[in-house]
Amino acid sequence: MGGDINQELLIEAKKNEDGDVKFKEKLWTESKTLWIVAGPAIFTKFSTFGVTIISQAFVGHIGPTELAAFSLCCTVLFRFGNGVLIGMASALETLCGQAFGAKRYHMLGIYLQRSWLLLFLTTSCLLPLFIFTTKILIALGQDEKIAIVAGYIGHWFIFIMFSMIISFTCQIFLQSRSKNMVIAYLAAFSIGTHICLSWLLTMKLKYGLIGALLSTILAYWIPNIGQLIFVTCGGCKDTWKGFSMLAFKDLWPVVKLSLSSGAMLCLELWYNTTLVLLTGNLKNAEIAIDAFAIW
């Protein structure tokens, strides 16, 4: 009887051991699969966010007023518009996932073009925020000296806002095709170029605010141009069949999905905007906004 008991225990232990090995193998396989997708996506988000941080760092060497004005544009105007565009673009992720799962691959390209059209119209509606930046900020109680410089910067930010149309939509489109490495390579090239250009134009050639803004615009547009070339020139043959008039049809369902999916994202992003606006109403607004921007 004792031998039988020992034999059964050994068999059970072997089963547990095999189970542990299988679990570890499954965990390792799933982790590798996850990081193949998540790794490039994390790096891309980090690089995109890093462009603004690098710009702020170089603008901070120009002067405290310029840094405060740039921070206001980034965290108030740009974040406000960014929240709207991210929310509107997030609908494309749902639509691309459904189309790919249903094996209607050609519809991914149609949905991409519909998102371009929808985000272009949305960005056009947001233009007054950047055209009348100075008047808006003064009306919100911000320091007049900072608001004037912010108005100048706001005009440059129009180019950045239009770059977001391509950036958000093409990234979602390529991620749905598991082309994450393409996005990551372009993001790495963009942020590397941005660091070099910012130093050259701002510190070396002494172009000041113009140099920093020019480098920022190029940093946002470089990956967009690369993504557009990849998508339209054969990188996604199954899902991109060229420009189509179908992009102008059935827009209302896309609009409804975009509005509903974007509401929560907008509220989350605008929270920080409110804090910066409150900071701008303090006595020494220049130092307060600078400190908040660095934080």
What pLDDT, in 10s, does the model give residues 91-124? 888 888 888 888 888 888 899 999 999 899 989 9
Dist CA 20 CA 42 (whole Å): 31
Amino acid (one-letter) located at 51: V
Residue 276, CA distances (Å) to 87, 140, 256 in order: 21, 11, 31
Which range has the worst mean pLDDT, 6-10, 32-36, 77-81, 284-288?
Answer: 6-10
Say what the pLDDT of residue 21 is: 58
Say what the pLDDT of residue 81 is: 85
Q: Using only C-alpha atoms, what is the Rg of the chain?
A: 24
Calculate what percentage of the chain has a pLDDT beyond 90: 35
Question: What SS3 class is residue 261?
Answer: helix
| Tokens, residue 88 | 């509107």
The sign of the torsion formed by the CA atoms of 44, 48, 51, 54 equals negative
Residue 95, CA distances (Å) to 5, 89, 111, 173, 255 in order: 59, 10, 7, 10, 12
Return phi, psi of residue 216, to 5°: -65, -45
Dist CA 266 CA 94 (whole Å): 18
Dist CA 29 CA 26 (whole Å): 5
Say what the pLDDT of residue 1 is: 47
Q: Which among 259, 266, 77 is positioned nearest to 156, based on CA atoms?
A: 77
Instruction: Give the relative orientation of helices 285-294 and 64-72 as an angle to the nearest 10 degrees.
Output: 70
Q: What is the pTM of this model?
A: 0.82
Return the top range by mean pLDDT from 14-18, 88-92, 141-145. Answer: 141-145
pLDDT interval class at 4 (50, 70, 90): low
Average pLDDT for residues 185-210, to the nearest whole number? 93
pLDDT at 189 over 60: yes
Model confidence over 138-174: pLDDT tens digits? 988 888 899 999 999 999 999 999 999 999 899 889 8
Instruction: Give the relative orientation of helices 2-60 and 209-230 as an angle to the nearest 10 degrees.
Output: 130
List strand residue ranges (DSSP E) for 95-153, in order.
Answer: none
pLDDT interval class at 17 (50, 70, 90): low
Name which residue leads in pLDDT, 100 or 57.
Answer: 57
pLDDT interval class at 198 (50, 70, 90): very high
Residue 236, CA distances (Å) to 66, 102, 231, 232, 241 in order: 43, 17, 6, 7, 9
Dist CA 187 CA 176 (whole Å): 18
142 backbone φψ class: left, alpha, beta (φ>0; ψ -120 to 50): beta
Say what the pLDDT of residue 261 is: 67
Question: What SS3 class is residue 143?
Answer: coil
Dist CA 219 CA 48 (whole Å): 9
Calculate what percentage of the chain has a pLDDT beyond 70: 90
Q: Which among 112, 97, 94 is positioned nearest to 167, based on CA atoms?
A: 112
pLDDT at 71 over 60: yes
